[in-house]
Structure 1
Amino acid sequence: MAMQMMTWLFAIPLLGLVTGMRTMTAMAVLCWFAYAGHLSVDDNWAAWSGKLITAIIFSMLAIGEYIADKLPKTPNRTAPFPLVARLVVAGLIGAITAAGLNGSGMEGVILCVAGALVGTFASFLIRREIVARRGGKDWPVALIEDVSAVFCAVLAMGIVTG
């Protein structure tokens, strides 16, 4: 029971927080966990997320996002299009996770989207502040953010899958 509460109140919002940091990272990690059979999505609408091709596609999208994030012309994650994309992907992640846990899809969506909102704005402000205080380049901070996103996504999915 405690693990189930931790999943719903910590892990799913953490997946959203990661999505706020890097849109495709949590989805890529979720797909690899589903493909490996750790998240049971085979018997529901989310079965597509457990396919090898899906895991590869989202991994490639995540890698592309890591590269694009370092480019000077990339818009802020708080701009309308990137923000909406994060919220949509977070909703999908929440729904897939809930489906894999045989739980309420709406609760999964709400928790993950709330995490994504926090993650989007908090990570934007924290990164901006660190860069301003260091007076240096943005890319080392962005690289640390990439690693943090992957670590947190794996941690969250580890909690989700027990």
Structure 2
Amino acid sequence: MRNRTYLIASLLLSGCLVGGRSTSPSAPPPPPPSGGATVVVPPPSEPATMPAPPPPPPEEHRNHGQARSEEVHERNEQRKAEHDAEKAEKKAEKADKKAEKTEMKAEKMEAKAERTEAKAERAEAKGQEKKADKLEAKADKQEAKADKQEAKADKQEAKADKLEKKADKAEQKAEKKKK
């Protein structure tokens, strides 16, 4: 009971203090004191307003550091994919050059074998049978070497094609990472 009276008294007192101190900007200024009796005019009562609705709950609370870490991770993956694509392309170009070089080497060996055969024919025409036989054997060996070089060049071209396909896939992967 005692608590209730203290509560009521404190509410009344605080209401009077708050009501006595508050002045709204639209309220008329208090009348100047005159020599006669003072009339107390209560301030105009403000209409009761509803309290503002609570702010919407924040969206999924995420750790800023975690979000930043994920962004960095995605950028690094994209950079790695681009780097892998460039690397695969360089490998493919290198394999192409190597295949071309081997093919040129095979063509040179074939030309050398043809020259040796021509020498053998001239030697045979002159009547130098032994020399002609040796030159023909040498030409046959050179042709065999040229054939091996051509086979090697074909393998290297196939390898280069594989590497080019791999480079294309890596480029596509890098493009997907960008999106």
TM-score higher than 0.5: no
Q: TM-score, normalised by structure 1?
A: 0.25
Q: Which structure carries more helix by proportion?
A: 1
- Structure with larger RCO (C-alpha < 8 A, sep 6+): 1
Q: Whose Rg is larger?
A: 2
